[in-house]
Amino acid sequence: MSLRHAVLGLLSEAPASGYDLMKLFNVSLAEVWPATQSQVYGELGKLTTAGLVEVAAHGPRGRKEYAITDNGLTELRHWLTDVEPSGPARHDGLLRVFFLGVLTPLEARTYLLHMAADAARARARYEEIDQKTEWDEDMISVYGRLSLEYGLRMSTAHEEWAKWAAEEIGSAKARKAGERVRDRRAHKE
């Protein structure tokens, strides 16, 4: 749902400073729910005001370490169990696929092969994260690895689908559908 729950989730593992949270975001959540430093620090302020986190320790140079409160844990549990995930309601790239018949077959195949290449790059990023990460037995590692596996599998499936779709553009049915669209347009001009 929000950055709020991502921060609460990270703090449920252990207290952390804003700096520590940013490091955790960058190595664990960046591909799932990216956040900037100003967003994280702003959210910590809101969570503190709402009583969902508290300053557990003060360190040098004004460093604050935050811990989740009982109310924060209750909110996180409520979000995990009672709130339906919103998921991506829109996919701009897939919407475009519906209208590829407006393009030439070469342009349509090029678009789809670009999608396949993007998916391959995403998979390579996930593989790099997997190789560089020391997967421990802490909550973030165990469940973060599950999330990473989702990214690996989805990017693989996306790449395979885009390559298949690019080949389908050459089918007689796809060629005919595209020709009808382009012919109608040519007759209007």
Q: How far is CA 127 from CA 8, 62, 130, 178, 186, in A?
A: 27, 37, 5, 38, 47
What would the two tokens of residue 3 be? 């950055």
| Residue 133's pLDDT band (cuts 50, 70, 90) | confident
pLDDT digits over 142-164, tens only? Answer: 888 898 899 999 999 999 999 99
Contacts of residue 45, defined as CB under 8 A and 6 or more positions apart, other chains included, come to none
pLDDT top residue among 29 and 17: 17
CB 37 within 8 A of CB 22: yes
Q: Which of 97, 113, 99, 109 is nearest to 170 (CA)?
A: 109
β-strands 53-58, 64-68: how paired?
antiparallel
Kindly report the three-state secondary structure assignment for every residue of 99-139.
Answer: CHHHCCHHHHHHHHHHHHHHHHHHHHHHHHHHHHCCCCCCH
The pLDDT, as a whole number, for residue 132 is 86
Nearest-CA neighbor of 24 among 144, 126, 123? 144
Q: Which of 31-35, 78-82, 165-169 has the lowest mean pLDDT?
A: 31-35
Q: Give the residue carrying structure tokens 């490091």.
A: 23
The amino acid present at 59, given as its one-letter code, is: G
Closest CA to 44 of 6, 74, 13: 6
Side by side, which strands form the sheet with 53-58?
16-17, 64-68, 53-58
Q: Which residue has the tokens 């360190």?
A: 59
The span from the CA of 13 to the CA of 23, in Å, is 14
- Calpha distance 103→113 (Å, rounded): 14
Q: Which position has the higher pLDDT, 8 or 29?
A: 8
pTM greater than the 0.85 cutoff: no
What was the pLDDT predicted at 89?
A: 62
Tens digits of per-residue pLDDT, 19-46? 999 988 887 777 778 888 999 999 999 9
Is pLDDT of 183 > 70?
A: yes
**pLDDT tens-digit readout, 82-131:** 888 876 667 778 888 888 887 888 999 999 999 999 999 999 999 998 89
Would the pLDDT of 1 be above 60? no
